[in-house]
Amino acid sequence: MRFGLSEEQTLLADSVTRFLADNVPLDEVRKVASGESSDAAVWQGLTELGVPGLLIPEDHGGVGLGSLDAVVVADCLGANVTPSPFLSSAVIAPTVLVAAGQREDLLGSLAGGEIRIGTAFGEAIGARVDADVKVSGGKLSGKSLFALDTHADHFLVATKGKHVYLVNASDCEVTDLPTVDRTRTTCEIKYNNVAAELISDNPDVFTEALDRARVVMAADTLGAAQHMIDEAVAYAKVREQFNRPIATFQAVKHMCAQMTADLEPCRSMVWYAGHALDNVPEEARLLACHTKAHLAEVGRSVSKTATEVHGGMGFTDLLGLHYWFKRCGFNRQMLGVPELVREEAARIQGLAA
């Protein structure tokens, strides 16, 4: 019995972390966030590590790894607030295409980083009324809001009925919708009778992709929150006030202890959820919901407390701590806020209508 990462997974984490440390330091994140540069170079680098093809079967040009491996990578990306279309292009899109067995020709291009596929899932999760996607005669009309990846070449669009369609970005009117977190992009997509290819009319395909995406998003929060704790502890040890490091104050120590106590079990939860997606199907859905919701809550409290430990410095842009704060905030709201996801958890167990 061994609960935890395999040696290969640890190596994977090390190599991604090393790449990010060398190639995507905070300065680079700032550039992408300010619009000075795009995430294309980062994605190109990650492509050389095989990241886009992580979940794509080897016979389609991918690496053929599993959900827990994606969790490992997401943890690293979160820890480094890495700008990238990982969630949409490397997680959701491959999952949908493989599960549906459709347009598998795109998988190779995805794995090779040649195309990016964004996702517009809001409609199927519970979206605003004015985001209304309609399908008629193989054409889409209406619009999607807060779709992932403004720079995508294609979009997978889910309807209320959890059918999934593929559209070309160039056929649509795509407008960037900036959020607090500028390390990932979201957009509005307007469909004006746009040709759409039905990828799946099986709601299970949508759900499989959503579950995976939620766990991966939770892993991103895990990484981001752990980074904030590490920074807070390190800062407290060197920052002096009243002639002593603030780490000697019990109030500061207890803030750090509480953050740790809250986050540490999340690591095991995220790992197990990643494992269950591929290996324990009967537990996977419930775990995906709970992991998404629980990490959202812990991400919020940790990111607030870690900022407080940094005092005024945490509020400034000088250390850039806010990029992690906002990353946690983005992960909380996207793909279902905690209240909505917990209600799904209750439904899965027959506890809600």
Partner 1 sequence: MELSFGPEYESFRDEVRDFITKHKDQQAPSGAGSDAGKSWQKTLIEAGYTARTIPKEYGGFGAEPDMVKSRIINEEFATARMPGGLGGQGISMLIPTLLELGTDEQKEQFIKPTLHGEMVWCQGYSEPGAGSDLASLRTSAVLDGDEWVINGSKIWTSTAHLAHWMFCLVRTEPDAPKHNGISFLLLRMDTPGIEIRPLVDMTMNANFNEVFFTDVRVPKDQIVGRRGQGWQVANAILGHERDSLADPNASLTRLNSLIDLMKTETLGGERLIDNPLYRERLMKIQGRAMAMRYNDMHVLSSRLNKDQEAPLARMITKLQGTELRHELEALAIDAMGEVGLSFGSNPYLRGGGSWQYQFMYFLGLIIGGGTNQIQKNIISERGLGMPKEPKIEK
**Minimum CB distance to a copy of itself smaller for 128 or for 254:** 254
Answer for the pair 56, 119: CB distance below 8 angstroms, yes or no: no
Answer for the pair 226, 300: CB distance below 8 angstroms, yes or no: no
- Is residue 238 a contact point for a copy of itself (CB under 8 A)? no
- Is residue 339 a contact point for a copy of itself (CB under 8 A)? no
CB 252, min distance to a copy of itself, A: 9
Q: Which of these segments, 106-114, 143-151, 249-257, 259-267, binds a copy of itself (CB under 8 A)?
A: 249-257
**Minimum CB distance to a copy of itself smaller for 249 or for 315:** 249
Q: Which of these segments, 173-181, 230-238, 247-255, 263-271, binds a copy of itself (CB under 8 A)?
A: 247-255
Instruction: State which H helix or E strand residue 30 sits in.
Output: helix 26-34
**Alpha-carbon distance 237 to 140, whole Å?**
56
CB 134, min distance to partner 1, A: 15
* Burial of 224: CB neighbours in 10 Å, binned 0-12, 13-18, 19+: buried
- Binds a copy of itself by CB under 8 A, chosen from 250, 282, 312, 317: 250
Phi-psi region of 234 (alpha: psi -120 to 50; beta: other; left: phi over 0): alpha
**Alpha-carbon distance 104 to 99, whole Å?**
10
- Is residue 256 a contact point for a copy of itself (CB under 8 A)? no
CB 211, min distance to partner 1, A: 15
290 binds, among a copy of itself, partner 1, none (CB under 5 to 8 A by kind): partner 1
What radius of gyration do the chain's Cα atoms show? Answer: 20
Give DSSP secondary structure letters for 108-137: HHHHTTS--EEEE-HHHH---TT--EEEET
CB 306, min distance to a copy of itself, A: 18
- Is residue 243 a contact point for a copy of itself (CB under 8 A)? no
**Minimum CB distance to partner 1 smaller for 95 or for 307:** 307
188 binds, among a copy of itself, partner 1, none (CB under 5 to 8 A by kind): partner 1
State the chain's maximal CA–CA distance in angstroms.
73
- Binds a copy of itself by CB under 8 A, chosen from 18, 128, 237, 254: 254
**Alpha-carbon distance 212 to 91, whole Å?**
7
Binding residue count for a copy of itself, defined by CB under 8 A: 4
Q: How many angstroms from the chain centroid is the CA of residue 204?
A: 20
**Minimum CB distance to a copy of itself smaller for 80 or for 305:** 305
Return all residues near 108 (Cβ < 8 A) that are at least 6 apart. 56, 60, 61
Amino acid type, 184: R
Q: Give strand pairing partners of 144.
A: 189
Binding mask 196-235 for a copy of itself (x = CB under 8 A): ----------------------------------------
262 binds, among a copy of itself, partner 1, none (CB under 5 to 8 A by kind): partner 1
Q: Which residues of this chain interact with a copy of itself, rule CB under 8 A? A: 249-251, 254
